Structure 1
Amino acid sequence: MSKTVLVLGTGAAGMRAAIELRRSGIRAIAVSKGSAAASGATPSALYSYCCGREGDPQNSPERFREDVLRSGLTVNDPDLVELLVRDGFPRLEDLTEMGMPWTRDAGGDYDLGMLPGHSAPRAFHVGRSTGRALQATLTREGLKAGVEFLQYHVALDLIMRNGKVAGAILLDLVSGQAVFQPCGAVVIATGGFAGVFGLNTNPPGATGDGLAMVLRAGGELSDMEFMQMYPTVLVAPPRVAGMEIPTGQILSADAKLLNRDKEEFFGRWEKVPVGQATRDVLARAIAREIHSGGGTDAGGVYLDARNVRLDLNSDRYIRFLKVMGVDPTADLQEVAPGAHYSLGGIRVTAPCSCPGLEGVFAAGEVVSGVHGANRLAGNALTETQVFGAAAGRAAAQYLSREGCSREDCSPTQCRPPERGESRLYDGLCDAGERGTGQTPFGIRERLTKVMDRYAATIRTSESLTYARNEIASLREEFRTSVGIPSPKAGESWFPRLLQYVETANMLSVAEALVISGLVRSESRGSHYRDDFPERDSAWDGRNVVTRMSADGKGLEVFIRDRASGERRQVDI
């Protein structure tokens, strides 16, 4: 067995895993689709890292646990929640030792913000640059620790032998060459799949690559119906579409939501005051107003922050929006719910093992079970550090148990992949041989439009069934008619290959989301069915699990009772 561990993804979760591996004396190769320091969603995270502290009666880990479980509405895995609340502050202290420049109050203690859904101030932050500061801190520490970086590469498929991971097929996006990279373990930290929706707040690349890879390898996904929508995402003008207006602080400071006729509407749909509403409640109310005919011509509603009780001009992000020509302090802004954070993902057993895939671990947004049906603001960065560190430790312990010492384990040589070894590699070869045909981008654009219209905030059996049928048609078109022409002299393979790989993965992940949404015949948290608008207690403690069928042509769906572990297959 090779003593090398492949870490797929160089965001906060992947970097934390790689650092932990190096501290255990394990070779860590961190793979990223772009520049390692800028890949993933971490740099785009604006505000905070939330956690409880031992000895703080107002903000204890126990109180934090209660908030996370209440928000998750019984969809969370309690074992994962326990790890989040227990290790959140110790991992924050690790970051402090690495040089993370937390904002301090006048007395020198951490400056803590209060966010909606939390029962106490617990938002540790670096102003409005927390994600950028976190990424910079971890990248610097990773370089010091000796992490090896493989940039502008993407993992196509895991290679399993006798139920254990033996390596992965990696594609060089610049040269177009693919190789089999042997390893003793893999940590998947490739982020979420908000990119299957056209209106989303994520940077490019949130296309569900790790989830689709696990499906093809025989692993399972869970809770795919839960996608957190950020309530106030700009829809106009086009140059800023997808950028978010910070909801929590502005709405709690008396900002208003107005329909196309400039009338307040939130109270018509929800009972809770708008300033106290969590993101799922806000998103649902805005979407329902749009669907009922109250939306603007651009497909949004108006956010009126012209008279809020805040000095928005002192906010770094608001100043950036002004540079982009958006001034919430002076003008109404057109906003709508946009995909923001993936709550579903790879099913793991605590702390981070992928059932059925020995030697494969996962951490960060790619994983399901931590947040449940709704994520509290500020918990995403905490998740990256708690579970990134846990994944690194688990992978190191796995290699130790398997008898791979640090000195006597020589890695197998890399080699070109073989046909039949990777479904995605085979598809790439077929598209390359075809040369001309439909473009991956065209299929991708049609997919995101289907998801925006039929599978976003407001869902019904009819809309989800339509989306499922459209995805099936797009998958067949993609399989049979997409071509990848060779680049001309001086051009790179990069955009052609990346579009193909991401679109293939998006189609698989979108199908899992839509089918899971059809199976969960109730409304809960970020999953809202207009034909089943109420929460059904029969679903308490149950998760929808999807996996690839044996022939690889479709998905199998199960309802799993978490307490007993029993599962029932659903025909749909």
Structure 2
Amino acid sequence: MAMVDVPTIKEAYYDVIIVGGGGAGAEAALSATNEGVNVAIVEKGIFGSSGCTVLGAYSCNAALGYKDPKDSPEVHFEDTVREGRYINDQKLVEIYTEEAPKRILELHKIGHVFEETENGKLKQGMMPGHTYPRAVFRDFHTGKAIISALKREVINKKIDVFNECVIFDILTIDNEIYGILGYDLKKGEIIILNCKALIITTGGCGQLYLHTTTSTDNTGDGLALAYLAGAELMDMEFVQFYPTAQCYPRLIGMNPTFPAWLRINTGARLYNSEGVEFMKEKMPDWRFKATRDELARTIYTEIREGRGSPHGGVYIDVLHLSEKEIEEAYSFANIFEDLLKIGIDLRKDTIETTVASHFFMGGIKVNEKFSTCVNGLFAAGEAIAGIHGANRLGGNALSEILVTGYEAGKYAAKYAKNNKLSDSDFETGDKIKKILDILERKEGISPIKIKKEIKNIMWEKVGVIRNGHELEEAIEKLESLKNDLTKMYVITKTYIWNKELVDAIEANFMVTIALLIARAALYRKESRGSHFREDYPKTDNKNWLVNIIFQKDHGIRTEKPRVTKMPLEEIK
């Protein structure tokens, strides 16, 4: 068999390295740099253009109290814990809700990110599940505005950025971080980056599912890397499914979550193939009252029971309004005109909308300094568990990445200042060989085939509505796929821009995380928030008001959520 040439290996040293270049990663890099340490960002795609932050459409929540002075961080805290079904880490929620206004105003000062009223205050809109209007925004491109401002600051601070680099291993010794191993696509090189502190900000794992609103790089890399390095993962069963995602026709140029704006902006008619407005019947004031888990489950039930639309969704429109009302209401962000350009007239057309995986409430378990049980390993953003509990409120994600990124960067920098780079000569040959072995094989299983099978299994067996039998089937099938990972091969044998090799690396991560999600879902014998089991349809606070935690080589355990303000004893 012809041997594949050994790739060039490049090595570099930093105080703090951030894996993931979205909003949380950029904020962490700026925060750490301000502490006076040497920082690098490693991004799988292109910094500022990849990841999920840029997809954020409208809302970024903070209790500024501009629209309603009764709002406060305390009320925001209560809303977040209530909708998280009380298994949130209340200390983390407290940090988030108290710091969000500071981070929002700080970011606006450097980039004029959000829209203002005539008197110079930030505009604030209402979002479902919130007590008061607290969403700041930049038309329908809030996430893009946020990451653009952060990117400019990263460039101004001359922070090193490694674009198009896939990290495939975290290097540790005696439970302490000393670096990462990665594959540089554009140069075709293996990179070894040594560091004193490492921050994971790679987001969630929406791409584990067949239907998703997330970016294509959202494959759970950071979660798997942290788990394999010895970190604890928590709340893995809680996957949020977006209830009104694009279905048909394809709204080119619009956000994947656009149909939700019809509901939020003016209220909408949501109905099945029989013409029944099922949400209106179930919950007359559903426009702002229905949370994502409730709405997703109801829509999915309509589709599952045969009352869906031809393309696998249900119908949504704003035809209860006059033509003039529609034109005026959807002049916002030029939505009405943009839709006309692609053949959609909101004055007379109905579109199909469906459910899709959107956000991951589970993730890496961190403390109030956003550090893990692995020394020198920190995490932030969607990659962490604890803030959102069993269900995330709309608009909390974009502000949460700013807060947690800032805090993780600050504490990682402090850790780096008090620790030295390891001077040990570590062996990385075996870890690199696992990558080379994939290129060496002449035949086997395509990584793409494995990824597609994972997506189908997760959607069909570990999706919106679950049961014990199907979860057991999912675990059995995923275990079989896990065995197939050693048989993966790629047709492309070069190192430069080998997308097949990236697929193989991602497939490993996806199987690891998919199994943990399925096992957690099987273990939790109740329904709570985004986790719904038809064989255990009720919430059981007596037995299951707990967090489920995984740690490699230590199995599964549960513990009570950390409480600061809202006693669990008061919950019925």
Contact 1:179 1:414 (8 Å CA) reproduced: no
Query: Which is worse superposed, 362-371 or 177-186?
Result: 177-186
Structure 1 counterpart of 2:474, which letter? A
Residue of 452, 456, 464 corresponding to 2:463 = 456
Structure 1 counterpart of 2:391, which letter? N
Deviations 1:161-186 (A, max 9, x none): 12110111111123432232111110
Query: Which is worse superposed, 435-444 or 363-372?
Result: 435-444
- Whole-Å Cα distance in 2 between the matches of residues 428 and 398 of structure 1? 32
Match of 1:185 in 2: 197
**Deviation of 1:99 (Å):** 1.8
**Deviation of 1:106 (Å):** 2.1
**Deviation of 1:212 (Å):** 0.4
Structure 1 counterpart of 2:503, which letter? Q
TM-score using structure 2 length: 0.89
Match of 1:500 in 2: 504
Match of 1:477 in 2: 484
Structure 2 counterpart of 1:390, which letter? E
Distance 1:532 1:270, change over 3 A: farther
Structure 1 counterpart of 2:149, which letter? T
Within 5 Å, give how 1:13-28 maps onto structure 2.
13-28=24-39
Matched, 1:50 2:61: yes
Contact 1:269 1:285 (8 Å CA) reproduced: no
Within 5 Å, give how 1:380-529 maps onto structure 2.
380-402=397-419, 404=420, 417-419=428-430, 422=431, 425-480=432-487, 482-487=488-493, 492-529=496-533
Match of 1:557 in 2: 556
Deviations 1:425-469 (A, max 9, x none): 443222111143221111111211111111111111112111111
Matched, 1:263 2:276: yes
- Whole-Å Cα distance in 2 between the matches of residues 388 and 399 of structure 1? 16
Within 5 Å, give how 1:19-98 maps onto structure 2.
19-53=30-64, 57-98=69-110
Structure 2 counterpart of 1:334, which letter? E
Distance 1:559 1:272, change over 3 A: farther
Structure 2 counterpart of 1:133, which letter? A
Contact 2:14 2:40 (8 Å CA) reproduced: no
Secondary structure (helix, strand or coil) at the match of 1:207 reads coil
RMSD between superposed Cα atoms in Å? 2.6
Secondary structure (helix, strand or coil) at the match of 2:445 reads coil
Distance 1:479 1:330, change over 3 A: farther
Structure 2 counterpart of 1:561, which letter? K
Contact 2:246 2:259 (8 Å CA) reproduced: no
- Whole-Å Cα distance in 1 between the matches of residues 366 and 347 of structure 2? 44
Matched, 1:135 2:147: yes
Matched, 1:280 2:280: no
Secondary structure (helix, strand or coil) at the match of 2:168 reads strand
Within 5 Å, give how 1:123-272 maps onto structure 2.
123-237=135-249, 243-247=256-260, 250=263, 253-266=266-279
Distance 1:238 1:472, change over 3 A: farther
Q: Which structure 2 segments of 5+ residues have no match?
A: 1-11, 564-572
- Whole-Å Cα distance in 2 between the matches of residues 239 and 415 of structure 1? 51
**Deviation of 1:3 (Å):** 5.1
User: Alignment length, in residue pairs?
Assistant: 545
**Deviation of 1:127 (Å):** 1.4
Structure 1 counterpart of 2:411, which letter? A
Secondary structure (helix, strand or coil) at the match of 2:397 reads helix
Percent of aligned pairs sharing the same letter: 31
Secondary structure (helix, strand or coil) at the match of 2:198 reads strand
**Deviation of 1:18 (Å):** 0.5
Contact 2:179 2:193 (8 Å CA) reproduced: yes
Query: Which is worse superposed, 253-262 or 448-457?
Result: 253-262
- Whole-Å Cα distance in 1 between the matches of residues 459 and 217 of structure 2? 18
Match of 2:368 in 1: 350
Residue of 18, 23, 39 corresponding to 1:12 = 23
Q: Which structure 1 segments of 5+ residues have no match?
A: 551-555, 565-572
Match of 2:8 in 1: none
Secondary structure (helix, strand or coil) at the match of 1:184 reads strand
Deviations 1:208-266 (A, max 9, x none): 10000011111111111111111011233468699223426525734122112222222
Contact 2:45 2:217 (8 Å CA) reproduced: no
Contact 1:460 1:529 (8 Å CA) reproduced: yes
Distance 1:144 1:254, change over 3 A: closer
Structure 1 counterpart of 2:451, which letter? R
Secondary structure (helix, strand or coil) at the match of 1:235 reads strand
